[in-house]
Structure 1
Amino acid sequence: MLQRPRRRCEGTAMGAIVLDLRPGLGVGPFSLGMPICDAFAQIEQQPNIYDVVHVKYYDEEPLKLDIVISFPDHGFHLRFDPWSQRLRLIEIFDVKRLQMRYATSLIGGPSTLATFVAVYALFGPTFPGIYDKGRGIYTLFYPGLSFAFPIPSQYTECCHEREAELPLEFPDGTTPVTCRVSIYDSSTDSKVGVGALMDKACAPPLAAGSLYMEAVHVKLGEEIWFTVGGQHIPFGASPQDVWTELGRPCGIHQKQVDQMVIHSASDPRPRTTLCVDYFYNYFTRGLDILFDGQTHKIKKFVLHTNYPGHADFNSYMKCNFVIYGSDFGGSFHQGEGTAKRMITPSTKWEQEILGDCGRAAIQTQGSTSNPFGSTFVYGYQNVAFEVMKNGYLATVTLFQS
């Protein structure tokens, strides 16, 4: 579990914050479908509010479970699809810690209990909900919004196993109080709640023509090309060519030291030689482009997967690259249908896929700046793979041998 530096003790918030509730769309500054990088940007803009933040993920299999940003002081989670890294579900797990504003009314927080009666009065009539007998939870659904209510065991007869009547009040005159609120995309008409119902939430569809997660096809030793925009960027292209095709880079910086030059028998320069090469950084595309400082021609592309557990996590959006097996000049052949074999950000590294390249180089940024430890770099003709300890790719570097 990653954790931001704390400026105060967890659980000592001075009072509940108030966030606008947008059923089917989001809460406060967090919108369903937003990339995880955008969520972190919102957090960084309001450090006094979001000053205790937990990031949770499954380190061994990062594509198996959601990436979760949790705000324990404010009682809610943001759940991101692990493959697309887009927000698919917002869960308010402690309604007493977060006050929500809907239209002109408030609900939740320490002063306004989110009772069944209060929810029904604010959001209006709806169809009977679903009673989970095993969990003792009754879930009430509105488009893109659900409320879960615990039902005391002595009143389970008020609910049926499937669709139940609305339990506005129990026989003793009390009313159930919300224990969880879920906000999700309503375009699929799915009912999302606790337990297995939580898995039904999906990030909303991307807008037509969206460049987010567009496939970037790789032709090793020659070029990359973008499927949505149709841009082809070959090795040897100039900065002007790149600006024309991809627009202004997010950042430009000089490559200070070429740390791998010592491994090149054809280049006798000392390891500490300053390098005049420079990068164009396209953070929103998950891409770096390295130019030769003398010829001003492209010499490398670096593609980033943006997996949690890597030192560069949240510096780039994910690059959805596709490298076909036939590009490897025969080292990837395993019978017919080879052209359909490919390496993507979801590929788990197995060195034998490409053939033996010898021992991996070990790469680390030092224990102080990189708490996640070393990665391993495997080099082949025209491509090098940086592999994390869990076997997933962190970066792919393309070059001309």
Structure 2
Amino acid sequence: MKPELNIDIQPGVGLGHFQLGKYYRHIPLNTYWMSLWTSLDLLRRDSHLFPDVDVKYDPDSAITPVILHLRPHLDLLFSGQQQRLHQICLKKLRDPHPPVELSYKGKLLSSPHDTLQRVGVSKAFGPTYPGEDLMYPGVWFSFREDGPPEQGKVSSNPEDKSQEVKRVIISQKNENNESEDVLSEVRECEAMQYGLLEAIVKVHEGVDLSFYGVERPVRIKLGVTTAQDLMLDLGSPLRIHYREDDRMTIHQSNVQEDPDISGGYFYNYFQYGIDFLISGTTHVVKKIVLHSNIPGTALFQRYQRCPWAIQGLPEDDEDDTPPRKWFYERFEDISHFLSPGETPPTMRLDRTMEEEGLTLPSPATRLLGFDGAVLEVTESALVAAVTLF
């Protein structure tokens, strides 16, 4: 027998386990907007509550919204670019598999034995604007099985107090009481403080990390920044991994192994989508790997998305907006940006060969080498990761 779901409504904030903006307990010391990565991690931990999860995404784009279907009751919509929880939909309130109890401020609204009706919503939340649905700041109640809110459209029978609520939708509060664009990004708010805003890649140099609410970016320089610097600027990594895989050395023209790299170790900042390879002798950063967290790839969900952009050279000394290529742009555009007119060397990689039981529709990726960078590219021409060295 599946356990009962006891869910409380928090308008503009969240619904039950899932919060549009609150502290996420499994990542210490920092505050994060609930992301696709943190949500799937939570679902793994609470698999007894949500055993049936479907991930819906567009395999040909890195910035279309992703939907998690937690059957039969919940749909979680994540924004396409930042992969942040944008909207929560609760449906099939009377489906007993599992049974759902819905409450607001400690008062029961709905259960398998108590149907949520128009009159119940009005008693709990008060009056609102006329329309087909009952809309309040941060929450709306629909009497239809699907479809967007229809504000201003008068119900065919607005006096029917017994109309049954079919769906409850939680989103950010909108001061103008306008419906949210489901394709938009989550608006910046206090809960996003210290979350990673962007990572500006400078080939041969390193990466500048900007965080919400922090005035100056953190600058990580190849061959300069030390392991201690990373600890001071970014906190402790979630994992330290000692390098054991040296298979790529077979492709080197100089077969003598570099002890500075072979004895190195990785600082894995999964919450930022970044790995740092650190020298085993000098303890400075030798390589930086930034992950795009693209659904359908072998490394999907290992890392939170890193919103990286490769920055080019400014046109002159007064150019404060140098050109950039973002993670969601096509490989052909990024390749031309890095190396105009040249075809970089290519190697094939199938990560599923090392993961027993992992099968993917398109498991193979390509590794393409440039001067100072390597891109891992999917069959859909999306860049899954960029490595700086």
Q: Same fold (TM over 0.5)?
A: yes
1:78 corresponds to: 76
Deviation string 1:264-292 (CA, Å, 9 cap, x unpaired) is 1112569xxx9422101111221111012
Alignment partner of 1:349 is 2:339: no
Distance, in Å, in 2 between the alignment partners of 1:106 and 1:198 is 30
Contact 2:331 2:382 in 1 (8 A): yes
Query: How far apart are residue 390 of structure 1 and its match?
Result: 1.5
Query: How far apart are residue 19 of structure 1 and its match?
Result: 0.7
2:29 corresponds to: none
Matches within 5 A, 1:1-400: 14=2, 16-33=4-21, 34-64=34-64, 66-73=65-72, 75-97=73-95, 98-129=100-131, 138-150=132-144, 162-164=152-154, 167-170=157-160, 175-192=162-179, 199=182, 203-207=186-190, 210-227=193-210, 228=214, 229-236=216-223, 237-268=225-256, 275-326=262-313, 340-350=322-332, 351-353=335-337, 354-355=339-340, 356-367=342-353, 368=356, 370-372=358-360, 373-399=363-389
Contact 1:262 1:269 in 2 (8 A): no
Query: How far apart are residue 104 of structure 1 and its match?
Result: 2.6
- The 1:260/1:161 distance shift into structure 2, 3 A limit, reads closer
Distance, in Å, in 1 between the alignment partners of 2:300 and 2:157 is 46
Deviation string 1:113-162 (CA, Å, 9 cap, x unpaired) is 11112222222222212xxxxxxxx21111111111149xxxxxxxx994
Deviation string 1:14-63 (CA, Å, 9 cap, x unpaired) is 46512111111111121114112221232233221112111111111231
Contact 2:350 2:365 in 1 (8 A): yes
Bigger radius of gyration:
1
Query: How far apart are residue 166 of structure 1 and its match?
Result: 9.1
Distance, in Å, in 2 between the alignment partners of 1:232 and 1:55 is 35
1:132 corresponds to: none
**% identity of equivalent residues:** 27
What's the secondary structure of 2:289's corresponding residue?
A: strand
- The 1:365/1:316 distance shift into structure 2, 3 A limit, reads same
Distance, in Å, in 1 between the alignment partners of 2:255 and 2:295 is 35
What's the secondary structure of 2:133's corresponding residue?
A: strand
When the two chains are superposed, the root-mean-square deviation of aligned CA atoms in Å is: 2.9
TM-score for both structures, normalised by structure 1: 0.79
Deviation string 1:297-316 (CA, Å, 9 cap, x unpaired) is 22100011111112222222
Distance, in Å, in 1 between the alignment partners of 2:144 and 2:222 is 61
Deviation string 1:239-258 (CA, Å, 9 cap, x unpaired) is 22322332222210111112
What's the secondary structure of 1:70's corresponding residue?
A: strand
Q: Relative contact order (C-alpha < 8 Å, sep 6+): which is higher?
A: 2
- The 1:208/1:175 distance shift into structure 2, 3 A limit, reads closer
Distance, in Å, in 1 between the alignment partners of 2:61 and 2:183 is 21
Contact 2:94 2:112 in 1 (8 A): yes
Distance, in Å, in 1 between the alignment partners of 2:303 and 2:230 is 18
Query: How far apart are residue 370 of structure 1 and its match?
Result: 4.2
- The 1:253/1:45 distance shift into structure 2, 3 A limit, reads same
TM-score for both structures, normalised by structure 2: 0.81
What's the secondary structure of 1:376's corresponding residue?
A: strand
- The 1:256/1:269 distance shift into structure 2, 3 A limit, reads same
- The 1:99/1:181 distance shift into structure 2, 3 A limit, reads same
Contact 2:144 2:167 in 1 (8 A): no
- The 1:187/1:168 distance shift into structure 2, 3 A limit, reads closer
Contact 2:9 2:16 in 1 (8 A): yes
Q: Which stretch has the larger CA shift, 315-324 or 261-270? A: 261-270
Distance, in Å, in 2 between the alignment partners of 1:15 and 1:251 is 33
Distance, in Å, in 2 between the alignment partners of 1:316 and 1:161 is 39
Query: Unaligned regions of 5+ residues in structure 1, if any?
Result: 1-12, 130-137, 152-159, 328-332
Contact 1:289 1:300 in 2 (8 A): yes
Distance, in Å, in 2 between the alignment partners of 1:377 and 1:369 is 23
Number of corresponding residues: 351
Distance, in Å, in 2 between the alignment partners of 1:371 and 1:185 is 37
Query: Unaligned regions of 5+ residues in structure 2, if any?
Result: 22-33
Distance, in Å, in 2 between the alignment partners of 1:277 and 1:200 is 42
Q: Which stretch has the larger CA shift, 93-102 or 75-84? A: 93-102
Deviation string 1:91-127 (CA, Å, 9 cap, x unpaired) is 1132223331112322234221111122222222222
